[in-house]
Amino acid sequence: MKITIIGTGYVGLVTGTCLAETGNDVICVDNNVEKVASMQNGIIPFYEPGLESMFKRNIEQGRLTFTSDLAHGVNESLIIFLALPTPPAEDGSADLSYVIKVSEGIGVCMNDYKIIVNKSTVPVGTTELVRKTIRKYTDTEFDVVSNPEFLREGVAINDFMKPNRIVVGTRSEYAKKVFRELYEPYMRQSDKMIVMDERSAEITKYAANAFLAAKISFMNEISGICEKLGANIEDVRKGIGTDDRIGKQFLYAGIGYGGSCFPKDVLALNKIASDNDCEHEMVESIIKINQAQRKKFVNRIKSFFRGDLAGKTITLWGLSFKPETDDIREAPSIYIIDELSAAGARVVGYDPVAGPFIKSMFGDRVSIADDQYEALTDADALILVTEWSCFRNPNFDTIAGKLKSKVIFDGRNQYDLIKMSELGFNYFSVGRRS
Ligand code: UGA
């Protein structure tokens, strides 16, 4: 099939590459001319495990091409995916200016029947808005479909190639038929397609992310109860996760969720509910607990140093919002660096891939080390922020030798309490006795 993807951000490029991988001809459109030129030369704009080789292979085989020419992208393909940014506005609502601008452009240059697909997470009613916007500029027939994306950064290829489900919001029988054909290679073992109306598809995406965020906030709240009552959140997690109705995943207490999706989407759902006079106490609580969790973590560090961080060196292990990505959007590390450096601490960070992004955000307020152990030289404490696998089983003798004092704040409960105590560390984690 001939497919065009408009927007080569994270979702757009993963979608385009994975669609090319199964034999489709994919044109990726982006208005950033320099980015297009570098992608044409096989340079991928972000880190995602397994994507680079797939990306290069499909470019070499001529199935994945790039252009800044919107009209070319629209005219060549039957299916046009919108994978555009919808950044949060001040009030938490999603900014749809990119979606509207591109819809106008599609309407102006459309020459034949097209299926326009919303892949980005968009407010309820956006499919309708896209339809109306395009209609202003053309009499040609077209369908607009909501097809939300559920992939996770770090395992995006696997999530796309072997999806749990494919949600398709459309009432058009023809679009349903085309989508079944398009996604057939990704659901060989069983039918994963769930077809519904556009609005339900749009809400499904928000509900999925808010539900997952709720699991995390719930566990973070329980972790506070565990701490106060002398219990261990890790045991509680195992104790409840074995119940199939609860499930083992997304039950890890920590420093709160981050990333480009959960914080933005839960805020947007909160705004949608409030604008439409719907009860949304639960959604509000998810946000409140998440903010409180990271604050509590930093307060514990501050109170350990009796509020005096001036002249102290603090090392952060892990800067990206989660492992296996260089994405620092809404990463807890940003809040922690901000708070500690404002309190006068010298902050050193190490991350397998995200260091340069934190450096360009904080400049002189942070030093980035090239090595996880070098980062600890003469530090007053180590803070484990992101659970990259290189931090799971580190050499504690080296850590002890490098640190000025043996203090670890573990935001991800990676280390064994008894072992830490035997090694003589002052060890603080989340929802467990220290
Ligand atoms: C999330 C969803 O998981 C995807 O299904 C969705 O498609 C995507 O958002 C999106 O809307 O595009 P992602 O943001 O890549 O994917 O990251 P997750 O793996 O979901 O992690 C989100 C945050 O939750 C991270 O900060 C992580 O550290 C935190 N988390 C996750 C916990 O604190 N505890 C857990 O048990 C799980």
Q: Is 86 within any annotated ligand binding site?
A: yes
The ipTM, to two decimals, is 0.96
Distance 149 CA to ligand 1 centre (A): 13
Q: What is the pLDDT of residue 121?
A: 87
- Of all residues in the chain, the percent with pLDDT exceeding 70 is 100
Least confident of 88-97, 188-197, 230-239, 386-395: 88-97
What pTM, to 2 d.p., does this model score?
0.94
**261 catalytic, yes or no?**
yes
Is there a contact between 230 and 433 (Cβ–Cβ < 8 Å)?
yes
> Under a CB-based contact definition with an 8 Å cutoff, are residues 297 and 287 in contact?
no
Q: Is 251 in the pocket of ligand 1 (CB under 6 A)?
A: yes
- pLDDT value at 279 more than 70: yes
Residue 262's contacts (CB-CB under 8 Å, 6 or more residues apart) are: 209, 212, 213, 216, 330
67: annotated binding-site residue? no
Ligand 1 pocket mutation pick from 46, 118, 120, 153 by most atoms within 8 angstroms of CB: 153
Which of the four pLDDT bands, split at 50, 70 and 90, describes residue 89? confident
Asked whether residue 61 carries a pLDDT value surpassing 80, the answer given is yes
If you take atom 6 of ligand 1, which residue's CA is the nearest one? 150
For residues 177-188, average pLDDT: 96
**Nearest ligand 1 atom, CA 330:** 26
CATH number of 211-428: 3.40.50.720
Is residue 149 predicted with pLDDT exceeding 90? yes
**Segment 63-75 mean pLDDT:** 97
Beta strands 407-410; 426-428: pairing state? parallel
pLDDT tens for 298-319 read 999 999 999 999 999 999 999 9
Q: What is the pLDDT of residue 163?
A: 96
State how far the Cα of 83 lies from the Cα of 6, in Å rounded to an integer. Answer: 6
> Would you state the pLDDT for residue 41?
93
**Rounded to whole angstroms, how far apart are CA atoms 288 and 190?**
39
Residue 251 Cα distances to 32, 55, 214, 262, 323, angstroms: 39, 33, 10, 15, 16
Residue located nearest, by CA, to atom 25 of ligand 1: 257
Q: Which amino acid is at 111?
A: N
Ligand-binding annotation for 25, yes or no, is no
Q: Exposed, middle or buried by CB within 10 Å (0-12, 13-18, 19+), for 276? A: exposed
Query: Ligand 1 in contact with 145 (CB < 6 A)?
Result: no
* Residue 2 is labelled as binding a ligand: no
What separation in Å is there between the alpha carbon of 153 and the centre of ligand 1? 8
Q: Pick the residue with more confidence: 400 or 122?
A: 400
- Closest of 11, 56, 44, 54 to residue 353, by C-alpha: 44
pLDDT of residue 434: 67
- Between the CA of 257 and the centroid of ligand 1 the distance, in Å, is 7
Q: Which atom of ligand 1 is nearest to the CA of 322?
A: 28
The stretch 219-225 carries a mean pLDDT of 98
Q: Which of 77-81, 92-96, 360-364, 368-372 has the lowest mean pLDDT?
A: 92-96
Question: How much of the chain exceeds pLDDT 90, in percent?
Answer: 95
Given a cut of 80, is residue 139 above it in pLDDT? yes
Domains 2-196 and 211-428 share a fold: yes
Burial (Cβ within 10 Å: 0-12, 13-18, ≥19) of residue 193: middle
Mean pLDDT across the chain, nearest whole number? 96
- 215 marked as binding residue: no
Judged against a pLDDT cut of 70, whether residue 188 lies above it is answered with yes
Q: What is the pLDDT of residue 189?
A: 85
Exposure class string for 253-268: b at 16+ Cβ within 10 A, else e: bbbbbbbbbbbbbbbb
Nearest-atom number in ligand 1 for the CA of 154 is 15
Nearest alpha-carbon partner for 325 in 363, 290, 352, 349: 352
Q: For ligand 1, is residue 234 a contact (CB within 6 Å)?
A: no
Q: Is 261 in the pocket of ligand 1 (CB under 6 A)?
A: yes
Instruction: Output the residue whose Cα is nearest ligand 1's atom 23.
Output: 257
Domain layout of the chain by residue ranges: 2-196, 211-428
User: pLDDT-derived band of residue 79, with 50, 70 and 90 as boundaries?
Assistant: very high
209 lines ligand 1 (CB under 6 A): yes
Q: With respect to CATH, is domain 2-196 assigned 3.30.465.10?
A: no
